[in-house]
Structure 1
Amino acid sequence: MLEDVMTAGPGLRAYPAPAEVFVADQAELAEHLHPLISIELARVDPAWHGWIHLLSPLEPAEGYLGDHTEAFHSPLQTTNWLGFALEGDRYRLLGDVRYFARATTPDELPEPYKGFRAQLEEHCRGEERSYRLHRDSFRREGRLLMLDADGAPLPGATDPVALLEQLGGGAEGGNWSETGFFPLEYADDEARPISPAGHPFRFVAAVPGCHYRRSGAGWILLFFEPVERVALLTFDWS
């Protein structure tokens, strides 16, 4: 296990292009998910091959990812959990894109409260702008800096932050594991999601979303199931 990974180096690619992350016929996923960092799977287990991607959803403006869109959930797209099949090194969403509220029409998802869509659009536009500012800064500086809305380093935050706070090892339980939205097993203080086929996922990496743009989940966790080659993300919003 590695902690506080500060530089990319072999086997890590920060801010990969969406075309390197999503299958060509699901390119619209880039409207809903920001690619943060790609990880060569052999960095976690030498028996594994290929690349996996840690992503940050633009939603939610508040609450959990997948709130209000239960009609478009699937076994690997439940509240606060999001799964992908790996096709080569690219992700295929294992369900309906309308899992993302922003991809629905008003008829498909009536506003759960007044101003919901306007709030969501404003939030996502701000996240997109911030993501681009952080990405461009990283490409200039070669390090991650936390920036304000204008792209300047936040006051008192001139030191770089980690590309990954943890790579490999196990995932201790937290708010993400206590919601009951996805089946888990526990062993040796480690929480592991279980696939619909009954295979355990293994932890790959985690990072706060705010390292790559102005906000996001306090802890984004990435898991991999090597039998069916499925990637799984969950989010701790604490």
Structure 2
Amino acid sequence: MENDHTNFYEEDIRELKEGLTPFPEDIFVADQAWLSSYVLPLISVDLGILWPDLKGTVVHLLNPTEPYEGVIGEKTTDFYTEFCTENWMAFRLTEDNKYAFLGKEEYFLSAPKHQHDIDADFTEHINTIRENYRRTKARFKMTGQLLPWQEDNPQSFLDRLGGELWEGNWTFMAPVPPAFEMNVDESGEDLRNEGISISYQDKEFLYVGEVSGYNYCGKGADAILMFYEPESRIVLFTYDWT
């Protein structure tokens, strides 16, 4: 299919529809089960909601348990790949809709390799975000709502699904990894996606949607943005911090 941007757009999604599955399980390839130590599955999205030709292709929005301060990958530069760098990470989606990380385990500061580089505050942050996630997941199973804080304050399953991209801190916080290319048209002539395009081998990524890490974990980025490139089946994430 051509990477035409969908006209479908919805925000502040508080009622689930077919194709949206919160707290998915068993989404990582078998030889990378360690990923569950570093990223938390928030919600799966069947891309058929946005693009009918992609029905059955299911991507998973993830919240990393780090950083405690700064941005993810900021302190692990020796372990970057062409796909994973500061504030950006990528996965390849297998045919059975599981994620294969296109980086190294040591990209994550909480990996065993870096155990001497983290302090008590960092460890407490990791423990807190995981406990918040566990509690929110348990409450969802009981109530069908996201309740990371008060039980009378449900959060959105997705803040945005489909629609156009927007320019924010994420567009200039850190360059995209070398495998990708991002263009920002500042002339004002390209009105689509505020002139922002991200591509891999000349194939443009589709913008799937976003959610705040707070909605599921009580902590995290203000916006976790997810993109998908159909030919390579690469899922790309970046994070907006205000």
Q: For 1:170-185, list aligned pairs within 5 A.
A: 170-182=164-176, 183-185=181-183
Map Cα deviations across residues 177-233 of structure 1 (whole Å, 9 max, x no partner).
Answer: 1124214123421423222x2322110011111000110100110000111111011
Whether 1:77 and 2:81 are equivalent positions in the alignment is no
Whether 1:204 and 2:208 are equivalent positions in the alignment is yes
Output the CA distance in 2 between the equivalents of 1:190 and 1:76: 23
Map Cα deviations across residues 88-133 of structure 1 (whole Å, 9 max, x no partner).
Answer: 2000000211100111424xx863xxxx333221110111111000
What's 1:136 paired with?
Answer: 138
What's 1:87 paired with?
Answer: 94
| Structure 2 unmatched ranges of 5 or more | 1-8, 185-189
Q: Residues 170 and 190 of structure 1 are in contact (CA less than 8 Å); yes or no, is this contact kept in structure 2?
A: no
User: Residue 204 of structure 2: SS of its match in structure 1?
Assistant: coil
For the aligned residue pairs, the C-alpha RMSD in angstroms reads 1.5
What's 1:191 paired with?
Answer: 196
Output the CA distance in 1 between the equivalents of 2:131 and 2:147: 15
| Structure 1 unmatched ranges of 5 or more | none
Length-normalised TM-score, structure 2: 0.87
Length-normalised TM-score, structure 1: 0.88
Q: 1:224 aligns with which of 218, 222, 228?
A: 228
Q: 2:147 aligns with which of 145, 148, 167?
A: 145
The count of residues paired between Structure 1 and Structure 2 equals 221
What's 1:42 paired with?
Answer: 48
Name which of structure 1's ranges 173-182 and 218-227 shifts more when overlaid on structure 2.
173-182
User: Residue 101 of structure 1: SS of its match in structure 2?
Assistant: coil
Q: 2:106 aligns with which of 98, 101, 112?
A: 98
User: Residue 47 of structure 1: SS of its match in structure 2?
Assistant: helix
